[in-house]
């Protein structure tokens, strides 16, 4: 049984909006257009829409599961697994989830370092950069969930000008590119919507900090609103991309978002893409620190003797080492491709499965309330 | 440990006197201590005081003349005759000692008798109330606090003439026993805040306390932070408006400033003049100030980063200007920037330490002669000189001096990190500072409050200032016991008189 959470370290209901938002709208939106429009071409936005709506369903199962769990103990994923699957299998699943979080963090961190190396600093050393970056992460995580929430909120505010940059593209957009609609087979659209999972991953982290939210009743609305906002941002980006690029050019571009930032000019700044790229660095802090924080919580729930303030060192060292092991763009692409099925299994299969088990257990124990 | 014990003993002041005779014996060697025997036909007494602490005219006119009266034959008679509202009669030696050093006169019947009359005759000698020096204002009141705590309280009470204004006095400092006053309004100020600050001041372990800034450093939440966590001001109007808002003010005897707490970071960038002009102008000037701060912190580091690593950011037309100006400079941008920045810092420090007249000369010599000469000698470029001078100017736009020094200091880590990693380094440095600010608290309340935690109603008076009738609530940040500043209904009613058409 985990220690009771003090009122001082709890966070307001808006955290259910900002934290998943910071996790979802991240580095991925610089590159996801090419993957999504691979087979369905101009219908790629439909795949994004389908996946985005599916996240709403997962959020509903997640929230109802956590709300039910409140009666039995602490409502986070780690203790929930232990209760539903038994202590032994539960702890094994906890370790699996920890590996997933670690994988997720490293993918994002290394993906962003790659962008920096290509667009801003060719000689940037992965190891030294991640070392410096993890120092900041350490400083944030030591301040607890309140601090992490603060970085999430600020990253949302800082990202606003980046999204407003879409307005500069509209004069150059050819909306006829979107036509004909629904030309491709449902199979092509669904398979690309499977690939779009990568973009919407991150909202499942609500399951780790749910017990820290003060008024969970209000938080529900914020959580759905956050998902809708993430869906809206991704939809806007994909539509702008499809209308800005021709299909041939889009397939040849690795980072379409970077390419259209390059077309923006200001009298004082020539390359706005570098500036935006560095602003987007802010997004990396909340996502990495939420992940490291969730990992320290997980380690504590598996082995309550290890304090969070000590395990954070181990986790950050692990992240730095694995991040610097991934060397070139090909490997990064591989890792990104691997994250899609793993994330799909965790979010769309495992969470509904857990919810089903919870329902079954409730039925079998004859608790009809 | 035995050596520690010894050291602790040494830190104690000389052994205090046990009896009143001992006290007089201890004080006798002081040239300003007066202790004499008065004899008249009816009454004999011993009178003692420090003539440097008392108003000697007052004593001659209003104390001694009554004591020498024929009707006086005992201490009781003296109390009856003396024309003072408060004459203390006590045997308590610590009180006698404290009052003697506050400027009271001691009257005894016999030299060794412990029963004394304490007659107040304090001389209030200090600076006159003058114009505010560090926080000058064009529109508002021109008074500023002085070193005497009585005058300061008088200045504040004049502005808050209500019985609910609560003044709580404490003594801080093992030896100095400095008077510290907490000012707040009963029924408005948050009790929790008051308890926290009271507890922090009472648990202080210092030998002496001389200034309010020293107190601020001793009681703040994070002692290692570069950012001041409590606002210090010397303007009584600003103090009064903060107390009305629900804050606590702290006054220290001998310091011409007060602390206002809890504080958020944006308050360091707002001047009291903002409340005296119409809201669009006030908002515009606040935004100007914020822009100036951002410019001041980052401009020279941007120069280093862009010229060292990211010259593709500069448009072609600007590039040629920069090229001609940097053509003859033999150093890297970082050396150039550090040279100029340190020179400006030297000028600032010299200007602050030297007497005013010399200081002005130094400013002219430094600013004009050295600046032009260094450009002509080819050590620095023209463009950089403009940037550095402008950023120095921008740093001093901050109305609060302590914040201005912080702003001037934090540009150096930015410059160094710009040299290491270019724009990325600036971003990392900025992230570290912002994460620190998120963590920081002032009296346990979040330091960057209207942004995190996001409170929209407090944003009305932070980066911009909306009109007064939009601000019917006290700041949520202060968690006041009476959250309403004005009755919203009445404000609404006043606003809501819609006309059905033009000209009706």
Sheet architecture: strand order including B33-39 = B33-39, B44-50, B104-108, B116-120, B88-90
Answer whether A353 touches B (CB < 8 Å).
no
Q: Nearest CB to B434: which of A133, A154, A271?
A: A154
State mean pLDDT over A24-43: 83
State mean pLDDT over B120-130: 80
Integer angstrom CA distances of residue A132 from A116, A137, A182, A316: 15, 9, 47, 11
Task: Find the residue in A nearest to B449 (Cα).
Answer: A150
State mean pLDDT over B117-122: 85
Task: Label residue A2 exposed, middle or buried (CB < 10 Å: 0-12, 13-18, 19+).
Answer: middle
Using an 8 Å CB-CB cutoff, list chain A residues near B424: 116, 120-121, 124, 129, 278, 281
Please tell me the distance in Å from A136's CA to the nearest CA on chain B.
Answer: 6
The token pair at A335 is: 């890792």
Half-sphere exposure of B1 (CA within 13 A, CB side): 4
Q: What is the pLDDT of residues A135-150, one digit of tens each?
A: 999 999 998 899 999 9
Q: In this model, does residue B5 exceed pLDDT 60?
A: no
C-beta atoms of A278 and B427 within 8 A:
yes
Q: What is the pLDDT of residues A197-236, one digit of tens each?
A: 888 888 889 999 999 998 888 899 999 999 999 999 999 9
The token pair at B192 is: 């929790």
Answer whether A290 touches B (CB < 8 Å).
no
Q: What is the pLDDT of residues B187-208, one digit of tens each?
A: 899 999 999 999 999 999 899 8
Using an 8 Å CB-CB cutoff, list chain B residues near A275: 313, 423
The model's confidence at residue B497, banded by pLDDT at 50, 70 and 90, is low
State mean pLDDT over B293-303: 93
Among A325-334, B64-73, B186-195, the minimum mean pLDDT is found in B64-73
Using an 8 Å CB-CB cutoff, list chain B residues near A127: none
C-beta atoms of A154 and B438 within 8 A:
yes
Answer whether A144 touches B (CB < 8 Å).
no
Spatial CB neighbours of B147, under 8 Å, sequence gap ≥ 6: B126, B127, B253, B254, B255, B256
Give all domains of chain A, ordered by start, each with its CATH number: 7-363 (1.20.1740.10)
C-beta atoms of A278 and B315 within 8 A:
no
DSSP assignment of B96-150: HHHHHHHTEEEEESSTT-S-EEEEE-B----PPP-B-SSS--SSS--B---S-HH
Half-sphere exposure of A195 (CA within 13 A, CB side): 22
Given a contact cutoff of 8 angstroms between Cβ atoms, the answer to whether A6 and A172 are in contact is no
Task: Label residue B7 exposed, middle or buried (CB < 10 Å: 0-12, 13-18, 19+).
Answer: exposed
What's the ipTM? 0.92
Please tell me the distance in Å from B296's CA to the nearest CA on chain A.
Answer: 18
**Any idea which residue has 């006798």 for tokens?**
B28
What is the Cα–Cα distance from A83 to A91, expressed in whole angstroms?
10
The structural domains of chain B, with segments of one domain joined by +, span: 2-120, 149-263, 275-445
Q: In this model, does residue B15 exceed pLDDT 70?
A: no
What are all long-range contacts of B391-395, with beta carbons under 8 Å and residues at least 24 apart?
A: B391/B295, B391/B296, B391/B299, B391/B300, B392/B296, B392/B344, B392/B348, B394/B292, B394/B293, B394/B295, B394/B296, B395/B292, B395/B293, B395/B296
Using an 8 Å CB-CB cutoff, list chain A residues near B310: 120, 271, 274
Task: Find the residue in B nearest to A281 (Cα).
Answer: B427
Answer whether A186 touches B (CB < 8 Å).
no
Task: Tell me the count of A-B CB pairs closer than 8 A.
Answer: 78
What is the Cα–Cα distance from B368 to B409, expressed in whole angstroms?
23
Please tell me the distance in Å from A25's CA to the nearest CA on chain B.
Answer: 19
Segments in chain A forming alpha helices (H): 15-24, 32-36, 44-69, 77-85, 87-119, 126-142, 145-164, 166-169, 186-195, 197-200, 206-209, 216-244, 247-252, 256-262, 272-302, 308-325, 329-344, 351-364
C-beta atoms of B435 and A116 within 8 A:
no
Q: What percent of chain B has pLDDT over 70?
A: 95
Q: What is the pLDDT of residues B212-269, one digit of tens each?
A: 999 999 999 998 999 999 999 999 999 999 999 999 999 999 899 999 989 999 999 9
Tell me which of A274, A286, A289 to substitute to probe the interface with B (most B C-beta atoms closer than 10 Å): A274
Run of H or E residues at B181: strand B178-185
Tell me which of A213, A275, A278 to substitute to probe the interface with B (most B C-beta atoms closer than 10 Å): A278
What is the Cα–Cα distance from B220 to B231, expressed in whole angstroms?
11
C-beta atoms of B436 and A139 within 8 A:
yes
Tell me which of B225, B321, B439 to substitute to probe the interface with A (most A C-beta atoms closer than 10 Å): B439
pTM over 0.90: no
C-beta atoms of B435 and A133 within 8 A:
no
Using an 8 Å CB-CB cutoff, list chain A residues near B439: 139, 143, 147
């Amino acid at each position: 049984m985990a220690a009771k959470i003090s009122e001082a370290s709890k966070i307001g209901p808006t955290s259910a909006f900002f934290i998943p938002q910071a996790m979802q709208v991240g580095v991925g939106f610089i590159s996801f257009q090419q993957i999504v429009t691979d087979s369905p071409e101009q219908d790629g936005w439909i795949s994004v829409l389908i996946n985005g709506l599916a996240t709403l369903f997962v959020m509903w199962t997640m929230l109802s599961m956590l709300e039910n769990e409140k009666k039995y103990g602490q409502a986070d994923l780690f203790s929930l697994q232990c209760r539903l699957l038994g202590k032994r299998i539960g702890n094994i699943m906890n370790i699996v989830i920890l590996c997933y979080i670690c994988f997720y963090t490293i993918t994002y961190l290394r993906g962003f370092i790659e962008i920096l190396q290509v667009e801003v600093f060719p000689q940037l050393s992965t190891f030294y950069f991640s070392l410096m970056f993890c120092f900041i992460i350490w400083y944030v995580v030591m301040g607890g969930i309140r601090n992490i929430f603060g970085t999430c909120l600020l990253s949302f505010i800082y990202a606003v000008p980046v999204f407003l940059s879409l307005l500069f593209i509209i004069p150059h957009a050819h909306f006829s590119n979107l036509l004909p609609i629904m030309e491709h087979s449902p199979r092509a659209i669904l398979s690309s919507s499977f690939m779009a999972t990568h973009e919407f991953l991150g909202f499942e982290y609500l399951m780790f900090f749910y017990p820290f939210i003060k008024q969970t009743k209000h938080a529900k609305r914020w959580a759905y609103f956050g998902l809708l906002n993430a869906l809206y941002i991704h939809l806007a980006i994909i539509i702008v991309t499809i209308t800005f690029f021709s299909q041939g050019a889009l397939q040849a571009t690795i980072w379409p978002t970077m390419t259209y930032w390059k077309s923006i000019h200001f009298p004082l700044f020539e390359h706005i893409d570098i500036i935006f790229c560095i602003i987007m660095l802010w997004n990396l802090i909340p996502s990495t620190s939420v992940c490291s924080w969730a990992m320290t919580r997980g380690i504590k729930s598996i082995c309550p003797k290890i304090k969070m303030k000590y395990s954070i060192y181990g986790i950050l060292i692990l992240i730095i080492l694995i991040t610097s092991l991934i060397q070139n763009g090909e490997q990064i692409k591989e890792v990104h491709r691997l994250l899609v099925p793993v994330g799909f299994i965790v979010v769309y299969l495992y969470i509904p499965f857990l919810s089903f088990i919870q329902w079954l257990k409730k039925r079998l124990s004859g608790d009809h309330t | 440990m035995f050596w520690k014990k010894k050291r602790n003993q040494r830190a104690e002041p000389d052994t205090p006197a046990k009896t009143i005779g001992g006290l007089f014996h201890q004080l006798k060697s002081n040239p300003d201590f007066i202790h004499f025997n008065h004899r008249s036909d009816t009454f004999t007494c011993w009178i003692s005081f420090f003539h440097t602490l008392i108003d000697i005219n007052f004593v001659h006119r209003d104390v001694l003349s009554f004591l020498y009266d024929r009707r006086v034959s005992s201490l009781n008679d003296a109390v009856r005759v003396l024309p003072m509202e408060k004459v203390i009669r006590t045997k308590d030696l610590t009180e006698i000692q404290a009052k003697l050093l506050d400027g009271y006169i001691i009257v005894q019947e016999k030299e060794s008798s412990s029963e004394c009359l304490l007659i107040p005759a304090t001389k209030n000698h200090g600076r006159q109330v003058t114009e505010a020096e560090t926080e000058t204002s064009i529109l508002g009141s021109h008074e500023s606090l002085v070193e005497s705590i009585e005058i300061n309280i008088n200045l504040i009470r004049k502005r808050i003439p209500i019985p609910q204004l609560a003044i709580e006095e404490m003594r801080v400092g093992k030896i100095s026993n400095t008077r510290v006053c907490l000012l707040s309004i009963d029924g408005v100020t948050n009790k929790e805040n008051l308890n926290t600050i009271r507890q922090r001041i009472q648990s202080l372990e210092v030998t002496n306390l001389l200034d309010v800034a020293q107190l601020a450093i001793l009681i703040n939440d994070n002692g290692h932070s570069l950012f001041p966590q409590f606002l210090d001001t010397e303007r009584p109007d600003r103090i009064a408006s903060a107390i009305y808002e629900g804050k606590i003010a702290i006054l220290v005897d001998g310091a011409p400033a007060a602390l206002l707490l809890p504080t958020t970071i944006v308050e360091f960038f707002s001047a009291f003049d903002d409340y005296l002009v119409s809201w669009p102008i006030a908002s515009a000037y606040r935004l100007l100030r914020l822009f100036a701060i951002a410019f001041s912190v980052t401009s020279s580091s941007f120069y280093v980063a862009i010229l060292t690593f990211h010259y593709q950011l500069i448009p072609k037309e600007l590039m040629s200007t920069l090229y001609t100006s940097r053509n003859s400079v033999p150093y890297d941008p970082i050396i150039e920037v550090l040279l100029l920045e340190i020179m400006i810092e030297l000028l600032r420090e010299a200007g602050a330490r030297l007497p005013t007249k010399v200081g002005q000369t130094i400013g002219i010599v430094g600013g004009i002669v050295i600046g032009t000469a260094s450009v002509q000698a080819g050590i620095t470029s023209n463009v950089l000189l403009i940037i550095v001078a402008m950023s120095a100017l921008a740093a001093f736009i901050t109305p609060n001096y302590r914040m201005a020094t912080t702003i001037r200091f934090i540009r150096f880590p930015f410059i160094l990190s710009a040299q290491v990693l270019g724009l990325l380094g600036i971003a990392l440095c900025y992230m570290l500072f912002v994460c620190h600010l998120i963590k920081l608290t002032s009296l346990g309340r979040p330091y960057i409050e209207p942004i995190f935690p996001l409170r929209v109603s407090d944003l009305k008076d932070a980066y911009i200032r909306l009109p007064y009738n939009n601000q019917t609530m006290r700041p949520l940040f202060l968690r006041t016991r009476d959250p309403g500043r004005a009755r919203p209904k009445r404000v609404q009613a006043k606003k809501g008189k819609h006309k059905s058409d033009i000209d009706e």
